[in-house]
Amino acid sequence: MLSLTRLESHLVPLEAECLRPDTLASLDNTTISRLTVWHGKTKAEVGDFFKVQGSASDGEILLRGDCSRVKLAGSGMTAGTLRVDGPIGMHTGANMRGGLIRIDGNAGDWLGAEMHGGMIVVKGNAGHHTGAAYRGAQRGMRGGEIIITGSTGDELGSTLRRGLIVVGGDTGAFPGINLLAGTIVILGKSGVRPGAAMRRGSLLVPHHKPELLPTFQCAGPLDSVFPALYFQYLEKLAKRLNLNQTLALKSWPQLTRYAGDNVTLGKGEILCPA
């Protein structure tokens, strides 16, 4: 495992999209230390900001220290494991296509934005626009899974096309805005106007009745095994990822189906208590 320890924290963000396990796996530590990062508008090297130890040949990287201003870590990665011991900055795992990012701390905005595959696990909170589409893009996350044990900011899973996002805590406003398909599970409280302009897809909020837009219609209690499949999968996942203590899984009540958003296609659904 390659260990990268942040030497000191700066207010100026560090753009470090080279920090991904699949590309570092074939490089020696000297080469890794000389890889380019951008400190604000200044070109710099990895070694200027991180103490490089160990070897990345096993496809595993550990980021240590205060990385809350480190952006784009793990972005576009296709394989391997990126572990973060502490907070991490914006765009982590953006455009990710495979592998695992595990963050023991809080994550910044745009976590897993437009990701295509792989898994991101956050033992902590995440910022705004998790799994979202960048401004102007037609699709957000297109595959993979994001599991957050804490809460998230606004516009969670905006324009989600495929994949699963699970939030153990609460969300900010507009979760699932413009949802195209895929599934978002919110185990805490949903922010206002969930699923605004959603075309298809599912928002499960099993323990909270959010404030719904008037363009959603109640279809009555949902009689389907589909929520049970998700619940069982989450139980399995929590066990596998050792999240039993942090991901609050208590049995789901009977869910009511609200179909919408009828300002668009209207084939989406919000499942929550009546």
Partner 1 sequence: MELNQEDNRSMLSIRGIEVEDTYAEAFPLACARVIVTAENPRLVLSAAQAATGNASSVIGCDCEAGIDGLLAPDETPDGRPGASLLFFGYSRPSLELSLVSRIGQGVLPCPTTAVYNGLPIDPAKCLQVGGKIRFFGDGWQISKLLDNRRYWRIPVMDGEFVVEEVFGAGKGVAGGNLIIQGETRDITLQAAEKAAEAMGAVEGVILPFAHGIVRAGSKVGSRYPKLKASTNQAFCPSLRGRVKSELHPRAAVAYELVVDGLDLAGVERSMRVGMDAAAVPGVVRISAGNYGGKLGPFLIHLKDLLPGGA
- Residues at the contact surface with partner 1, assessed by CB under 8 A: 162-164, 181, 183, 200, 202, 222-226, 228-230, 232-233, 267, 269
Nearer to partner 1, 229 or 274 (CB): 229
C-beta separation of 119 from 138 below 8 A: no
Q: How far apart are the first and last CA of the chain?
A: 49
Give me the least distance between CB of 166 and partner 1, in Å please.
12
Give me the least distance between CB of 237 and partner 1, in Å please.
8
C-beta separation of 70 from 89 below 8 A: yes
Nearer to partner 1, 7 or 274 (CB): 274
Nearer to partner 1, 42 or 232 (CB): 232
C-beta separation of 97 from 40 below 8 A: no
Give me the least distance between CB of 152 and partner 1, in Å please.
21
C-beta separation of 103 from 121 below 8 A: yes
| Tally of helices (H runs) and strands (E runs) in the chain | 4, 17
Give me the least distance between CB of 133 and partner 1, in Å please.
19
Nearer to partner 1, 6 or 142 (CB): 142
Measuring CA to CA, how many Å separate 143 from each of 18, 50, 88, 129, 157? Answer: 22, 31, 22, 16, 11
Give me the least distance between CB of 268 and partner 1, in Å please.
9
Nearer to partner 1, 61 or 100 (CB): 100
Q: Quote the DSSP letter at residue 107.
A: B
